[in-house]
Amino acid sequence: MRNNNLIKAIEKTTKIGGIKISVSLPLLKKIIDKELLLKQQYQLFEKQAREEEYPNIANVFQAFQKGLNIIIRNHKRAIRKEDISEAEHSEKDLKSLVKSTRENIEKSKLDLSAQYIKEYKEAIKKIKNTLTEESYRIEDDVVIYSLQWGQGVKKSHVKVLKLVQKYLKKELKFEPINLDYTNPYVCEVCGHLIFGKPKRLCPVCDNPPEFFDSLENNIKKEPVEQEVS
């Protein structure tokens, strides 16, 4: 008990940059937990899509997981808790969430819009509200960028899911038409997903095209170490 009180007292006064840890730590920890759950869910959706013979959709869910690894890494760094343990949700609990690929896509899209993007928006607002000109430190940018990039990537995932639905409606089994959907690339800095060889700056984090990595090259590899700032 005494220790708990002591930790609380330290957290109240300790800061990451100018942001109070008592504000940023619970916010980011909650987001990390939710992202971990989502990553496990996407893993099952990927498996389901492969079983239904939608390899391109399975690749999209695989690329989403890769993006989430990068988002989670950035959040952990932002709160300086890189060693935080990753609570695994039991596959049994998650399996009840897996439906047909069509339903999984719809659920993913709705969850992103109704929960995740909203949560990022609120976290950014809360953190910005705790910052004053006097308290601001350069390290605060790491926390804010991490959240803004996470939010940007989520928004792009919604767009991708809408596109996938459009193709599915036409019963095209998500065949590539104009874009090379068979070749997803993920930005190693922020986790943003694009299709086909990248030619421009990442629209989420503004880093050059070299930071994008194709899915095939990186299936077994952990995200490359990359500074957030």
Please report, as ranges, the residues that interact with Zn ion according to CB under 5 A: 187, 189-190, 192, 202, 204-205
Nearest to 26 by CA among 180, 143, 174: 143
DSSP annotation of 137 reads: -
Considering the complex, what minimum distance in angstroms separates the CB of residue 63 from Zn ion? 13
The contacts of residue 218 (CB under 8 Å, 6+ apart) are: 66, 186
Phi, psi at 96, each rounded to 5°: -65, -20
Considering the complex, what minimum distance in angstroms separates the CB of residue 195 from Zn ion? 15
Considering the complex, what minimum distance in angstroms separates the CB of residue 140 from Zn ion? 20
Residue closer to Zn ion, measured from CB, 15 or 67: 67
The contacts of residue 196 (CB under 8 Å, 6+ apart) are: 179, 180, 183, 185
Residue closer to Zn ion, measured from CB, 210 or 222: 210
Residue closer to Zn ion, measured from CB, 71 or 105: 71
Phi, psi at 185, each rounded to 5°: -120, 140
Residue closer to Zn ion, measured from CB, 49 or 124: 124
Considering the complex, what minimum distance in angstroms separates the CB of residue 153 from Zn ion? 8
